[in-house]
């Protein structure tokens, strides 16, 4: 099969062995797969991952022990837990210390004609949902995680820093429960695409003297956290979405002096993401997709992903 | 009056002008005053404060408009809010953006024969409480702040990093509501003094594979936060007590990947600290006091405070 792999170098391979199917797992034919910031980070050494890249997909079950699933269109949770620890028992496979993660930790990903996942990781995609929405379930679920972590009353003022894919999704998700949300970024074109419902967008944050109740940091840079601390009110909450809060120098004294709470936030439950998509059919997810590329042009697609005006790039296996 | 001041250099002055008494404020004769890590930081430039140092004290009201308070033994909240903003309206003067802080921001402190504070900042000290306990209300209240910020069920496992004054107080406070608390530090003598009730002490943390539910970081060093992240379980909570989380390099990705929550924690309400002292008369606060010095020996006392085996040094105005 065709596959995009990283083995120290990003490569497109025309011929790569099809995956074996462990008992209880499904073989999935991939239709579309999204390129994520994490994929780019992996090509820079993140997690020391070697293998087939990719963890965002929509596909069709080709083979598995349960005939009900065969030929179903599916999306798949990316964390495969050990099934034995406390985290797994609490449906928190995404925090299992021995988890494997599709295309990220110890498990070949979905940038290929086929991938495999446990049947228990799969969710059927509603017939009415187009592939271009379904392929965004993973990042939308990650954005929805914020709602699970914050106890919002509805009257909070929120600011989202970062006009990339994840920042926009976080702002949209917050807009479904809060009336006062501002998305702040540097790119006018992205900000324009970010506009939805009552969401406000701004290139520079108005320096509020009182500070926002909630600040979501989704810029992907260390500087973003510094801005978040200064935009957040005393005793306010900062949601940290950027995994690339790397080894930069940082003065965290504002967290202590202003008794702010910093909440790390990563993957979310697909059930929540799918429900959000169905509840808000007007959520303009299609706007986030900058382009579809055939898998043969994966290297070009990766390059395009790092361009400042790009939102989501999708590899389409059917073109 | 005698005073310990910082004007770019730490000095003891035999003659310093007595404070004016603003309307609604009280003139307090200081009995004892504690030296805090923050005082040391101020002598290194923190907050750019110039004036009389000190914010921990027990004293006697000498003069004020309300005769009921005169000659009362008191302790005093250190934050003086503007009285007009939302924070002040919610009894959160400690987060008022225009606050003055005794011996820290824009207000002469208590390392002198006299200091002044608004009457509304004062709390009468119960007759049965000795000065050596009362002088510790400020740091104990700061430790109690943790209980206000965390919603504990009682079954949590907690680790406190740092065997200094604040670390020990945090561990004691947590021990009043949790049965599984471990205090971790580098100094055998301090750890011995830290032992109380069911509290466990350890020089090196056992590397728990599952991680603690709560980790309190009170080491005063950037390294402490790195240790806290690795000792905390996924989705656990880290309480950050060290204000000196300075500009060191730090990788915060564990916060995101493990969805940990980092809670900044500073001053607490004196009411809570006083109540804690009365509820736990066996809390061995006296053990924290390494020595009393006369104010004339303040410079020596400050030096002693920075020694690794020292806990709390107190200046006694009556000796």
Residues in chain A within 8 Å Cβ distance of B149: 259
Residues in chain A within 8 Å Cβ distance of B213: none
The CATH number covering residue B235 comes to 3.40.50.720
Q: Is there a domain that residue A14 lies in?
A: yes
**Interchain pair A264, B263: CB under 8 A:** no
Tell me: do A304 and A247 sit in the same domain.
no
Q: Is A42 left (phi over 0), alpha (psi -120 to 50) or beta?
A: alpha
Tell me: do A121 and A61 sit in the same domain.
yes
**What are A's interface residues with B at a Cβ cutoff of 8 A?**
86-87, 92, 95, 97, 145, 149, 209-210, 225, 234-235, 240-266
Tell me: do B224 and B173 sit in the same domain.
yes
Interface test with B, best of A141, A212, A253, A269 (most B CBs within 10 A): A253
Residues in chain A within 8 Å Cβ distance of B87: 234
Provide the pLDDT for residue A251: 81
Q: What is the ipTM of this complex?
A: 0.87
pTM: 0.90
**Interchain pair B250, A247: CB under 8 A:** yes
Tell me: do A60 and A146 sit in the same domain.
no
Tell me: do B80 and B12 sit in the same domain.
yes
Q: Which residue of B243, B249, B257 is in closest CB contact with A253?
A: B243
Residues in chain A within 8 Å Cβ distance of B79: none
Q: Which residues pair with A123 in a beta bridge?
A: A75
**Interchain pair A244, B253: CB under 8 A:** yes
Q: pLDDT digits over A84-113, tens only?
A: 998 999 989 999 999 999 999 999 999 999
Q: Is there a domain that residue B15 lies in?
A: yes
Question: What's the rounded Cα separation, in Å, for the pair A196 and B21?
Answer: 56
Q: Is there a domain that residue A275 lies in?
A: no
Tell me: do B119 and B153 sit in the same domain.
no
**Interchain pair B234, A260: CB under 8 A:** no
Tell me: do B103 and B146 sit in the same domain.
no
Tell me: do A72 and A108 sit in the same domain.
yes
The CATH number covering residue A63 comes to 3.90.180.10
Per-residue pLDDT of chain A (319 residues; tens, 9 = 90+): 999 999 999 999 999 999 999 999 999 999 999 999 999 999 999 889 999 999 999 999 999 999 999 999 999 999 999 999 989 999 899 999 999 999 999 999 999 999 999 999 999 999 999 999 999 999 999 999 999 999 999 999 999 999 999 999 999 999 999 999 999 999 999 999 999 999 999 997 655 567 999 999 999 887 889 899 999 999 999 999 987 555 667 788 889 999 999 999 999 999 999 999 999 999 999 999 999 999 999 999 999 999 999 999 999 999 8
Tell me: do A260 and A300 sit in the same domain.
no
CA angle B227, B232, B235 (to 5 degrees): 140
Burial class (CB in 10 A: 0-12, 13-18, 19+), B66: exposed
For residue B307, give every residue at least 6 positions away whose Cβ sits within 8 Å of its Cβ, in sequence order, or none. Answer: none
Q: Is there a domain that residue A272 lies in?
A: no
Tell me: do A154 and A257 sit in the same domain.
yes
Range of the domain at A55: 3-125+284-316
Q: Is there a domain that residue B149 lies in?
A: yes
Q: Is there a domain that residue A307 lies in?
A: yes
Number of domains in chain B: 2
Q: Is there a domain that residue A101 lies in?
A: yes
Q: What stretches of chain B adopt beta strand conformation (E)?
A: 3-6, 10-13, 25-35, 51-52, 56-63, 73-76, 79-80, 100-102, 106-107, 114-118, 122-124, 157-161, 180-184, 200-202, 212-217, 232-240, 261-264, 289-294, 312-316
Tell me: do A16 and A80 sit in the same domain.
yes
Q: Is there a domain that residue B71 lies in?
A: yes
């Amino acid at each position: 099969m065709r596959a995009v792999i990283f083995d120290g170098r990003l490569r497109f391979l025309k011929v790569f062995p099809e995956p074996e199917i462990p008992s209880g797992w499904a073989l999935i034919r991939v239709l579309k797969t999204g390129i994520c910031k994490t994929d780019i980070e992996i090509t820079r050494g993140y997690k020391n991952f070697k293998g087939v890249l990719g963890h965002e997909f929509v596909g069709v079950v080709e083979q598995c022990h349960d005939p009900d699933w065969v030929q179903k269109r599916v999306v798949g949770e990316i964390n495969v837990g050990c099934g034995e620890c406390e985290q797994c028992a609490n449906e928190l496979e995404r925090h299992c210390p021995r988890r494997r993660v599709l295309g990220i930790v110890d498990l070949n990903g979905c940038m290929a004609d086929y991938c495999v996942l446990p049947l228990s990781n799969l969710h059927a995609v509603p017939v009415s949902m187009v592939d271009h929405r379904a392929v965004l379930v993973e990042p939308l679920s990650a954005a929805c995680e914020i709602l699970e972590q914050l106890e919002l009353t509805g009257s909070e003022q929120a600011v989202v820093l970062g006009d990339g894919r994840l920042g926009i999704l976080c702002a949209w998700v917050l807009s479904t429960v809060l009336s006062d949300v501002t998305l702040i970024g540097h790119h006018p074109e992205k900000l324009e695409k970010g506009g939805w419902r009552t969401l406000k967008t701004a290139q520079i944050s108005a320096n509020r003297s009182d500070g926002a109740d909630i600040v979501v940091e989704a810029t992907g840079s260390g500087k973003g956290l510094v801005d978040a601390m200064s935009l957040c009110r005393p005793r306010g909450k900062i949601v940290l979405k950027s995994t690339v809060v790397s080894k930069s120098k940082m003065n965290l004294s504002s967290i202590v002096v202003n008794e702010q709470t910093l909440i790390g936030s990563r993957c979310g439950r697909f059930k929540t993401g799918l429900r959000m998509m169905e509840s808000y059919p007007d959520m303009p997810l299609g706007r986030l997709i900058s382009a579809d590329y055939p898998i043969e042009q994966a290297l070009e697609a990766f390059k395009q992903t790092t361009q400042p005006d790009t939102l989501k790039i999708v590899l389409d296996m059917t073109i």
